[in-house]
A and B are shown apart, each in its own frame.
Chain A
C-alpha cells in the first residue's frame, strides 16, 4: 500500500480507480479519462496533486543557494509571487528533478517538486546547502489541489477567503499570492488557465467538496498525463532523467546561461555538451498511420533506428496519437515509428499540440 493524500477518502467516495504512483495511491480516473480530459479543455476540472511536495527555502543566503542549485536563475524573480520553472541538475548535467520555484518574499522561496523524487531531492539539497545560511523546510502539512480549465478561476474565486480571493483574482499568469497558510498560484500542468492551491491538509476535503458542488469535475492522473502531453510539457522520468539533461529534452530555454559567472551545478557539463555539438533533438510527433504512439517505441529515419518516443499516447483534443521523442539531429519533417514491428509514418512537429481548448496542430 502506498501513501495516501488528505483527499484519499474523497477519491474512494467518488469511485476512483486507484493506482500506485511514485509511492502514492492516487486516482487514475473517476469513470472516463477521456471525459475528464475534455472537461478541462472546455470547462473546469480539479486534480489532487497533494503527492507533490512543497519545500520552503529561506534564510540570508536563500537566493545564493538556489542560484547554485538550479539551472534557471531565481534572480529573474524580481516581483513577489513570480514563478519560475527549472531543472535541478547533477554535476554531469543530468536532471535530478524539474520543479517550480515561487518567490514569496526577500530571501524566501517555495519550491514544488515531484512526488517520486521528493526524498531524493531533499537529500540532494541537504548535501548542497553546506556553507549557505539557509533553512529548507518540506511542507508535508500542506495539500495541493490544481483547478484547471477556462472556467477554473471563476469557479474557484468565490470559495476563497475574501482577502485571498481579491488578490488571486488579480493574478497574472505564472504568479502566486498567499494568505494565512493558503497559497494560490496561477500555474498548472494542462495548458489551460487555472490555479494550483496549496492549503493546510485538514482543510483540503472541504475545498474539494465545495469545488465539486460548484460543478468542477474531479480528474485523475490519466487525464493529467494526456493534458500535459498535448500541452507539450515534459514528464520527469520519461522525457528527461539523471542521464538525459535539459539540452536533449527540449528544456534548453530553462537554462539561464547569463550571467556567465553564475556557477550552477551542472553548468560545466552542459557547456561541454553544447560545445561538442551533435545533440539529439527533442521533437513532437503526430502519427499519420494507424495505432497509438507509446514510450520507448523506436523512431526510424530512412529505415534506421534514430531515436525513441519518450512520451506517447492518444490525444483526445486532436482525436489521434501524438508523442514527444528524442531523435538524431538529422531528422526532417517525416519519420516512421516502430509499432509492434510495423513502421508507421509520423510527422515531426514543434509542440505544443493543444492549449487553451484548441488543437494547435492538425492531424493530417
Chain B
C-alpha cells in the first residue's frame, strides 16, 4: 500500500501539493505514481518564471519504462525547480513526498488549493483504480 501523507493535497493525475504557508506550494508525484512508473531516470522540470494554467502539462518524468507528463495542480508562476533531480532523478523513487519534489509554484488564486483532493479523497481515487 502506498504512502499518502495527511498534510498534503492531491490531484487525480497523481501529483501531490504541499502548502508552504508563504504563498507558495511545492509539487511532486505521489508514492503511488512513482511505484507505477518504476525507476525514474530523467526529469524535465518547468522553467522558472513560466506561467502555467491548472491541469497544464508542465514537466515530464521519464522512467525506465516510459515518459509521463506532470500536470500543474493549480494556475500560477513557477518559482523554482528541484535542481537535485538533474543528477539524481531516483530521489523521486526513494523520497516521493520530500526530497523528490519537482517544482515550487506561486498560485494565482490561493483558494484554489481547497478544491484539490485531501488524503482521504485521494485514497478513494486509488481504490477505484484497482
Interface residues of A (CB under 8 A from B): 17, 28-29, 32-34, 222, 226, 290-292, 294, 313-314, 321, 340
Contact = CB atoms under 8 A, between A and B. Distances in A.
Nearest to A315: B41
Contacts of B93: 32
A340 B62 contact: no
A17 B36 CA distance: 9
24 contacts: A28-B38, A28-B65, A29-B38, A32-B93, A33-B38, A33-B65, A34-B64, A34-B90, A222-B64, A222-B65, A290-B42, A291-B42, A291-B44, A291-B62, A292-B41, A292-B42, A294-B66, A294-B67, A313-B64, A314-B42, A314-B62, A314-B64, A340-B44, A340-B60
8 smallest beta-carbon distances between A and B, as pairs: A314-B41, A34-B39, A292-B62, A33-B64, A292-B42, A33-B39, A33-B38, A314-B64
Nearest to B41: A314
B113 to A, nearest CB: 29
B122 to A, nearest CB: 21
B61 to A, nearest CB: 10
Chain A interface mostly = mixed
Contacts of B65: 28, 33, 222
Contacts of B67: 292, 294, 340
Instruction: Name, among B38, B60, B64, B66, the residue most crowded by chain A CB atoms within 10 Å (CB to CB).
Output: B64
Interface residues of B, number: 13
Contacts of B44: 290-291, 340
Contacts of B90: 34
Interface in B40-75: 41-42, 44, 60, 62, 64-67
Contacts of A34: 39, 41, 64, 90
Contacts of A313: 64
Contacts of A28: 38, 65
A29 B63 CA distance: 13
Contacts of A321: 42
A28 B41 CA distance: 17
Contacts of A314: 41-42, 62, 64
Given A314-B62, A314-B64, A340-B67, 13 more contacts: A17-B38, A28-B65, A29-B38, A33-B65, A34-B39, A34-B64, A291-B42, A291-B44, A292-B42, A294-B66, A314-B41, A314-B42, A340-B44
B62 A32 contact: no
A29 B66 CA distance: 14
A28 B39 CA distance: 12
A33 B35 CA distance: 12
A17 B37 CA distance: 11
Contacts of B42: 290-292, 314, 321
Nearest to B60: A340
Contacts of A226: 64
A226 B38 CA distance: 14
Contacts of B38: 17, 28-29, 32-33, 222
A302 B112 CA distance: 46
